[in-house]
Structure 1
Amino acid sequence: LCCPSGKEGGFRAIDWLVELMNLYTKVMYGGSGSGRTINYVISQSSIINAYRQCIEDIEHDFHIPEKMLHHAAPDIQSRLDGLKRTLRELRPHRYERGRKVPYFIED
């Protein structure tokens, strides 16, 4: 058994995970047309989890309720409301004395 979600009770059989990775590698991120070659699929297979994490991060950051790989009903207002709420809470556009960031970018 493995737990790809990391959540309690989220265990799956290993063959389920292998088949899921095959789906991602061959179907979702395998390219299309003349760019879909065995070498391309093999070169992308090691970064499939990075692709998935990027998609999940975007869905979370932009308050997208449905998965991006499926077409959801166009409900932009709820997404804008979620973004406005986050911006009001974080206030990234205002100077606040003592505010810290977890990283430093050299000039």
Structure 2
Amino acid sequence: MNTFGRKLTLTTFGESHAAAIGGVLDGFPAGVRIDLNFIQSELDKRKPGGSKFATARSEGDRVEILSGVFEGVSTGTPIGFIIRNENQKSGDYENLRELFRPGHADYA
């Protein structure tokens, strides 16, 4: 399942070996200031060198808000966002095809 929540729902899409990952946050109220710097600082925690569990790939991990936010404030419409995978190489995962990996959905 890739949709979570009832009143506030998050639907995710993409994979680490695809062109991008992202989501749609629905049910978020209008008029809430969205702090993109804070969101980016949270994403930065998974960059290489941040921990032994972070990806070894060099990724920018820059979040792009596609809809639902205008001039830094939520509009009340679904918030669409995307994070482009700049260094995906599907072949790099071939030796992991049958292994469960901590930190990934297939581990659960």
Same fold (TM over 0.5): no
> Higher Cα Rg: structure 1 or 2?
1
TM-score, normalization: structure 2? Answer: 0.23
Relative contact order (C-alpha < 8 Å, sep 6+): which is higher?
2
Higher helix content, 1 or 2: 1
